[in-house]
């Protein structure tokens, strides 16, 4: 089993937290986009290895949350794969 670099494993979490906890509407959109990109990047890594089911579920939940928050913004998220 190949271990990923620890920073890659957790890099998406601070971006997700920053987006979810942002209350300033002028700052929210860029943070949602940054979180979505970090989550998508990590999803690609996890799916390619196919070993960490728990993290995969956590990432998918986080992605759904970001997409939900983005739909309730005046402009939709620009970064969607």
Please determine, for residue 41, whether its predicted confidence score (pLDDT) is greater than 60.
Answer: yes
* Mean pLDDT for the chain overall: 83
In a domain, 20, yes or no: yes
> What pTM did the predictor assign?
0.78
In a domain, 79, yes or no: no
In a domain, 2, yes or no: no
In a domain, 50, yes or no: yes
How far apart (Å, rounded) are the C-alpha atoms in residues 44 and 72? Answer: 26
Please tell me which of 31-35, 49-53, 70-74 the model is most confident about, judged by mean pLDDT: 31-35
In a domain, 63, yes or no: yes
Q: How many domains does the chain have?
A: 1
Structural domain that includes position 36 = 9-71
In a domain, 26, yes or no: yes
């Amino acid at each position: 089993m190949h271990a990923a670099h620890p920073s890659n494993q957790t890099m998406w979490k601070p971006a997700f937290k920053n987006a979810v906890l942002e209350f300033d509407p002028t700052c929210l959109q860029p943070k949602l986009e940054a979180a979505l990109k970090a989550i998508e990047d990590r999803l690609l890594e996890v799916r390619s290895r196919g070993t960490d089911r728990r993290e995969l579920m956590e990432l998918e939940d986080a992605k759904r949350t970001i997409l939900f928050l983005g739909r309730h913004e005046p402009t939709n998220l620009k970064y969607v794969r």
